[in-house]
A and B are shown apart, each in its own frame.
Chain A
Amino acid sequence: MATTTAAVTLTSDLMSTNMSVSASTTCMKAGTTADGLDQMEYGYVDIASGTAYDIIGNTPTASKASKLYIKNHSTDETYYVSVVLDAQAIGKLYGGDWMFIPADFHDANADIEITATGGTNKICYALFHEGTTLVAS
């Protein structure tokens, strides 16, 4: 069993008391404590402005406990990618932002689509999953 850990720390001086929140999880297969996610897809791509792309080319097995990480490595804060799931807007990842979500891929339409704005955005992504439907050659 592979053991993959995802940890986050949020710090802020927004409020009267400084805040620091930390969480860590071991990425497990759906509903288990003994079997970790053991497959991954990792990439770094330049996304030209204006066109929508599916960030994950293959279709991961639906309704599992896949985890998706995306970071916008652009250094210009006016650059962003719009993240869309199944034609529904999720949010915008500006230069330097990252996201980490459970990804359900519940049907063939549940692609994660990104569209770059401002210029060519440099995007890093990693998908931890339980299997994908590979495209036949």
Chain B
Amino acid sequence: MATTTATITLSSTDLLSDELALSTTATLTQAGNATGLTGTTGLARKTTGNTTEYTLFAGADYTDDKAHKVYLKNMSTTSAQYFEIQIAGTVVGKLYAGDWALFPWSADTTGTNCDIDITPQAADMTLEYMLFTDE
């Protein structure tokens, strides 16, 4: 069985009066059991040619309501540059330069297809991404 882990560390010495130091690791497993995820797109990068909205992952390509996980990182170093992240047309948030995200994805297709779309704030921005799939 493959083992995939995701560790997050949130830290700050001056946000609060006390130090913030949070670290936790998740082993990415299939929906409802302890078997590790067995599929991935691998790590990839996409450089956008313009400010058009792109579909990064289409919900119809994956089994819905499982335990897929999505990793995104904005490789830009220009602080004002962001990718707007949408799921099924709903804005999740803006991923600014250097920011990353990791989240579960339903890939639901029962209503509006739960595609993950990205819209770059500027042309020629690069997004690093990876999908771990539960198929």
Contact with B along A70-92 (1 / 0, CB 8 A): 01000001101001011111111
Segment 54-101 of A: residues with Cβ below 8 Å from B = 63, 65-67, 69, 71, 77-78, 80, 83, 85-94, 96-101
Q: Which among A3, A14, A66 has the greatest number of chain B C-beta atoms within 10 A?
A: A14
Residue A133 lies at the interface, judged by CB distance under 8 Å to chain B:
no
- Contact across chains for B43 and A102 when beta carbons are under 8 A apart: no
* Of B14, B67, B130, the contact of A10 (CB 8 Å cutoff): B130
Residue of A nearest to B34 (CB): A77
- Contact across chains for B32 and A102 when beta carbons are under 8 A apart: no
Task: Given A8-B8, A92-B65, A104-B94, decide whether A99 and B13 contact each other with a Cβ distance below 8 A.
Answer: no
- Contact across chains for A31 and B130 when beta carbons are under 8 A apart: no
- Contact across chains for B98 and A126 when beta carbons are under 8 A apart: no
* Of B10, B14, B34, B39, the contact of A69 (CB 8 Å cutoff): B10
Residue A136 lies at the interface, judged by CB distance under 8 Å to chain B:
no
* Of A23, A91, A103, the contact of B105 (CB 8 Å cutoff): A91
- Contact across chains for A2 and B14 when beta carbons are under 8 A apart: yes
Task: Given A4-B10, A65-B94, A103-B92, decide whether A89 and B4 contact each other with a Cβ distance below 8 A.
Answer: no
- Contact across chains for A14 and B102 when beta carbons are under 8 A apart: no
- Contact across chains for B8 and A102 when beta carbons are under 8 A apart: no
Q: Which residues on A sit within 8 Å (CB–CB) of B2?
A: 12-14
Residue of B nearest to A109 (CB): B90
- Contact across chains for B8 and A6 when beta carbons are under 8 A apart: yes
- Contact across chains for B43 and A19 when beta carbons are under 8 A apart: yes
Residue A51 lies at the interface, judged by CB distance under 8 Å to chain B:
no
- Contact across chains for B4 and A5 when beta carbons are under 8 A apart: no
Contact with A along B37-53 (1 / 0, CB 8 A): 11110110000000000
- Contact across chains for A14 and B4 when beta carbons are under 8 A apart: yes
Task: Given A5-B10, A66-B93, A100-B103, decide whether A94 and B71 contact each other with a Cβ distance below 8 A.
Answer: no
* Closest Cβ–Cβ distance, residue A25 to chain B (whole Å): 5
Chosen A-B contacts, 15 in total, with CB atoms closer than 8 Å, are A2-B14, A13-B2, A14-B4, A14-B39, A15-B42, A31-B80, A65-B94, A66-B93, A71-B26, A97-B67, A97-B104, A98-B102, A102-B95, A104-B84, A126-B10
Q: A36-B15, A94-B67, A98-B8 are in contact. List 14 more A-B contacts (CB 8 A).
A: A2-B15, A4-B15, A5-B12, A10-B71, A12-B2, A31-B82, A65-B96, A77-B33, A85-B90, A86-B90, A88-B114, A98-B102, A99-B104, A102-B101
**5 pairs of A and B residues whose beta carbons are closest in the complex:** A91-B104, A102-B93, A12-B4, A4-B12, A88-B90
